Amino acid sequence: MTLKLTIDAEAWRGHLASIAQQVPGLVPVAKGNGYGFTIPVLAAEAARMGVDALAVGVPEEVDAVKVAGFGGDIVVLNPWRPGDEAAAAGLSDPQVVTTVSRAADVAEVARLAPGTAVLVEVATSMHRHGIPVEEIGALDLTGLDVRGWTIHLPAAGSIVEARKLATAVAAHPQGAAGVWFSHLSFDDYRTIASELAIPTRMRVGTRLWLGAPATFRATGTVLDVHRLPKGTTVGYHGARTPADGSIVVVSGGTAHGVALAAPATPHSFRQRLIPVAEALEEVRGRVTSPFVVAGKKRPFAEPPHMHSSLLFVPGPGEPARVGDEVPVTVRMTTTTFDRIDFAPAGP
Ligand SMILES: *Cc1c(COP(=O)(O)O)cnc(C)c1O
């Protein structure tokens, strides 16, 4: 009776292997909710793939990778900052590679924990974190174990920008440690890797784990079905059923992130950020839910509850039975499943 993710193990792993083959030096990224799969599942998968490094977002995510049995390097993508206790603990952890992105932090890390393994982040047109390109030449990395430099480009990053920054890195005395890119197309990555005389790596999350959406599916379970005449009050808020039909109660609610599904075509920043749950308050009972019952996406009868949702299906008959698994469209990066199953390949 759960919100469940079922992974076609053979097909999904086939996709992961094909990405690994297309991207020499691949560093899988397993952060946040583990792209819906959870960090431990992805860490175990990375171990299975045989990669020597895995990236997480924040130091607090390192333990989940270790517990899953991943034995390689664990790169923390968010840069180190003074005063962050979890990041400080990472400095003395031989499995952790710390990202540094400001000259002052470079000096402080070298002072606090000489010999720390680091990646040095270079500023890009993202304007998020990083050492400005004009300061790379003078950057003093004495006392640190420099594993590489990182270039985190905007989505669909430009090879022109990557080339310019990588060239500046290559000219640094520690440039030979190599560059780790994020968000280049695989073709551009292979091109620039062939041009540069220093090692290259590429960090990939979405295109790796979520790049073959047909290889996994999300389902809710039908928990109850109630045939009701038109005008019956239902739910917490006493919404009236718009016609004769059924209330179908399915597993999957706000705790799973079900009401946070992004609109298919984000037209504006604002639209992208408004949780569907909020919009539901305004147009209660008229919003299409992500659940498919009897072949169609059905409206919510009222905003989703913590673990389940009330859907309305008009018409006579029994649209679903208790125990049925119904497809649900989810945004993987905001969904927490109750259960993740690896299934053998289908027919
Ligand atoms: C999250 C992240 C990635 C992976 O991003 P995807 O778009 O999921 O592939 C790569 N690099 C950095 C620095 C990140 O923070």
Residue nearest atom 9 of ligand 1, based on CA coordinates = 205
Give residue 263's pLDDT.
45
List own/partner pairs for 164-171 with CB under 8 A and 24 or more apart. 164/133, 165/122, 165/124, 165/133, 166/192, 166/196, 166/198, 168/122, 168/133, 168/136, 168/137, 169/122, 169/136, 169/198, 170/196, 170/197, 170/198, 171/136, 171/137
Which of 39, 153, 203, when mutated, tests ligand 1's pocket best, judged by the most ligand atoms within 8 Å of its CB? 203
- Distance from Cα 56 to the centre of ligand 1, integer Å: 9
Give residue 283's pLDDT.
52
- What does the alpha-carbon distance between residue 17 and residue 11 come to, in Å, rounded to a whole number? 10
Please state the pTM of the whole predicted model. 0.91
Does 233 have pLDDT greater than 70?
A: yes
- What does the alpha-carbon distance between residue 222 and residue 144 come to, in Å, rounded to a whole number? 56
**Domains, the chain, with CATH or none:** 4-211 (3.20.20.10), 216-343 (2.40.37.10)
Does 267 have pLDDT greater than 70?
A: no
Percent over 70 (pLDDT), the chain = 91
Task: Tell me which of 297 and 276 has the higher pLDDT.
Answer: 297
pLDDT band (50, 70, 90) for residue 199: very high
Give residue 271's pLDDT.
52
Q: Could you read off the pLDDT of 291-347 as tens digits, one per residue?
A: 999 999 999 999 999 999 999 999 999 999 999 999 999 999 999 999 999 997 444
The residues lining ligand 1, judged by C-beta closer than 6 Å to any ligand atom, are 29, 31, 77, 152, 182, 203-207
Does 48 have pLDDT greater than 90?
A: yes
**Cα diameter, the chain:** 77
Give residue 344's pLDDT.
79
> Looking at ligand 1, which atom is closest to the CA of residue 210?
8
- What does the alpha-carbon distance between residue 221 and residue 312 come to, in Å, rounded to a whole number? 15
Give residue 266's pLDDT.
43
Does 265 have pLDDT greater than 50?
A: no
Average pLDDT over residues 160-176: 97
Average pLDDT over residues 277-301: 79
- Distance from Cα 55 to the centre of ligand 1, integer Å: 9
Give residue 273's pLDDT.
53
Are 148 and 117 a contacting pair, CB within 8 Å? no
Give residue 280's pLDDT.
54
